[in-house]
Amino acid sequence: MERIKTDILVIGGGSGGLSVAAGAVQMGASVVLLEGHKMGGDCLNYGCVPSKALLAAGHQAHAMQASGGKYGVAPKPAEVDYAAAKDHVHKVIETIAPVDSVERFEGLGVRVITEYGRFISPTEVQAGQHIIEARRIVIATGSGPFVPPIPGLDAVEYHTNETIFDLRERPEHLIIIGGGPIGMEMAQAHVRLGSKVTVIEGAKALGKDDPEAAALVLDRLRGEGIEIVEEAAAEKISGADGKITVETPKGSFTGSHLLVAVGRKVNIDKLDLDKGNVKHDRAVKVGDDLRSVSNKRVYAVGDAAGGLQFTHVAGYHAGVIIRSMLFGLPSKAKTDHIPWVSYTDPELAQVGLTEAEAKKRHGSHAVTVARFDYHENDRAIATGKTVGFIKVMVVKGKPVGATIVGAQAGELIGVWALAVANGLKMSAIANMVAPYPTLGEINKRVAGAYFSPKLFDNPTVKRVVRFVQNYIP
């Protein structure tokens, strides 16, 4: 048994853990990193990266067979090779993997141990034949797919995001349980690659997003042939391989393959947290500083901290705790400035408060909602991407939230993430000069829409203008 002493022990080699390890070791701390499965974590291997790669394949197929008459291009049925699309997915993973590899991090000076870790005391973690004693321990174990206890599910073959990307034969009819972002992205990717798709959602599809924006996305998905059944919790599953039936209050649905995408479960079961005096429920219990409420040597980042489950949140958390661990400075995590995106077509992006949330928190009288539609943007008109809108929720001249649905919404939301994070006023966006013609003008135009009533419908402004025109040479 080898005993190791280190400044920082990181448990988990996903986005948050790798960010902590790389930042800490390059600033002079000794770091040990434990990863018992795949470096890069869920995002690289089973989540963000492969899903976007498969969506890209679906986009290409859709572009060929969708009507291109308005561009002068005749549509042509796409000849989809589903296995080759999956080859593309794995090629993308392989291209990115070296950035997250054991070799790279060992090259930075991190001691990487490819074993799972578990607490054996408040200051010690055992990983295989190693016992690591650390001044600071970071839990960055991420999450995995939650599999609900639906009667009959364990008797049929089903997929989660951890297995769907290894499927080589195109599903004839894919049934997806779960109408959140993962379910909807996989639904659109598969229908565009030639599968019939049914989505079964126990509540509202895309229910965490702005209802008006979500409705626009769902209309598009239904228009592409996806059957979306809402308010229909899965009650029982039966059948055999190639013919699986899901029973709901709204009827039974039979397909060839089943994907379960109902949420995430934090990976803490193997950690023996009680032996480390680390309080937990579904995740590690932490304060705003991301420190364990019961063991101040321990931090948690990303999904393990129990908050928003996004890769970029884990990276943000890493920066928060590095400030505390390495420099002893106070540092707290916030959530109001965190953006998220559903990468459907059209995309749906959000940062800060939705319209309903803003009015509930600040009062309807205090919130101004500025809006601009894609169909008024020249680049959107030129490219035929006119479906969508942006609306920004403004309180006392500052944006407190923004919703964008439409082409490249995930790119456009960055401006509003910057504004919310730094407390910028709407005037800062209005002062921006956007190149013409770009979709980026949508951000400037919505700022203009906020100021227009204050300028054009203001009697005082008009009196001043008349005075200047009449009396000042």
Query: Where is average pLDDT lowest: 39-43, 75-79, 174-178, 285-289?
Result: 75-79
Is the pLDDT reported for residue 175 higher than 90? yes
58 assigned to a ligand binding site: no
Q: Is 42 annotated as a binding residue?
A: no
Amino acid 468: pLDDT: 78
Any known ligand binding at 106?
no
CATH number of domain containing 389: 3.30.390.30
Q: Check whether residue 168 and residue 232 sit in a common domain.
A: yes
Same-domain status, 108 and 123 = yes
Look up the pTM and report it: 0.94
Three-class DSSP category at 105: helix
Q: Residue 347 in contact with residue 341, Cβ under 8 Å?
A: yes
Task: Find out whether 347 is annotated in a ligand binding site.
Answer: no
179 is in an annotated binding site: yes
Which amino acid type is present at position 63?
Answer: A
Task: Let me know whether 125 and 6 are in one domain.
Answer: yes
Last residue of a domain, one of 233, 263, 293: 263
418, 432: one domain? yes
**What are 423's two structure tokens?**
């407390």
137 is known to lie in a ligand binding site = no
Per-residue pLDDT at 456 exceeds 70: no
**Phi and psi for 401 in degrees, rounded to 5?**
-175, 155
| 244 known member of a binding site | no
| One domain for residues 130 and 8 | yes
According to the model, what pLDDT value does residue 461 have? 67
Task: Read off the pLDDT of residues 116-152 as tens digits, 9 standing for 90 and up.
Answer: 999 999 999 999 999 999 999 999 999 999 999 999 9
User: In percent, how much of the chain has pLDDT > 70?
Assistant: 98
On whether 28 is known to bind a ligand per the annotation, the reply is: no
Tell me the CATH number at 318: 3.50.50.60
Q: pLDDT tens across 91-107, in order?
A: 999 999 999 999 999 99
Q: Which of 234, 263, 292 corresponds to the end of one domain?
A: 263
User: How many other C-beta atoms can be found within 10 angstroms of the C-beta atom of residue 186?
Assistant: 26
| Same structural domain, 355 and 442 | yes
> Could you list the residue range(s) of the whole structural domain that residue 301 is in?
2-39+101-145+265-327
The answer on whether 239 is annotated among ligand-binding residues is: no
Within a domain: residue 202? yes
* pLDDT confidence of residue 310: 94
Domain identity same for 425 and 409: yes
Per the domain annotation, does 77 fall within a domain? no
pLDDT band at 214 (very low <50, low <70, confident <90, very high): very high
Please tell me whether 363 is known to bind a ligand.
Answer: no
Angle at 406 (CA atoms; ends 401, 408), nearest 5 degrees:
90
Same domain as 172, residue 134: no
- Does 180 belong to an annotated binding site? yes
**pLDDT at position 130:** 98
In this structure, are 218 and 355 located in the same domain? no
Q: Is 115 one of the annotated binding-site residues? A: no
Q: In what order do the strands lie in the sheet with 236-240?
A: 236-240, 243-248, 251-255
Q: How confident is the model at residue 65 (pLDDT cuts 50, 70, 90)?
A: confident
| Residue 67 pLDDT exceeds 80 | no
201 is in an annotated binding site: yes
95 within a domain of the structure (yes/no):
no
455, 453, 360, 409: CA torsion to nearest 10: -100
What is the arithmetic mean of pLDDT over 439-447? 97
Residue 171: name the closest of 90, 88, 83, 99 by CA. 83
| Number of domains within the chain | 3
Which of 327, 357, 380 corresponds to the end of one domain?
327
So what's the pLDDT on residue 1? 87
Query: Quick check: is 69 in a domain?
Result: no
* Residue 227 annotated as binding site: no
Domain assignment present for residue 49? The answer is no
Task: Mark whether 226 and 289 lie in a shared domain.
Answer: no
125, 137 contact by CB (below 8 A): yes
Find out whether 52 is annotated in a ligand binding site: yes
Question: Is 60 inside any structural domain?
Answer: no
Co-location of 184 and 253 in the same domain:
yes
Burial class (CB in 10 A: 0-12, 13-18, 19+), 329: exposed
Residues 301 and 310 sit within 8 Å (Cβ to Cβ) = no
181 is in an annotated binding site: yes
Closest CA to 309 of 375, 252, 264: 264
Is the same domain home to 112 and 7?
A: yes
| Residues in Cβ contact with 187 at an 8 Å cutoff, skipping those fewer than 6 apart | 174, 176, 197, 199, 221, 226, 228
In a domain, 438, yes or no: yes
Q: Is residue 66 part of a domain?
A: no
Among 144, 142, 117, 98, smallest CA distance to 9 is for 117
**What distance in Å separates the CA atoms of residue 384 and residue 68, rounded to the nearest whole number?**
10
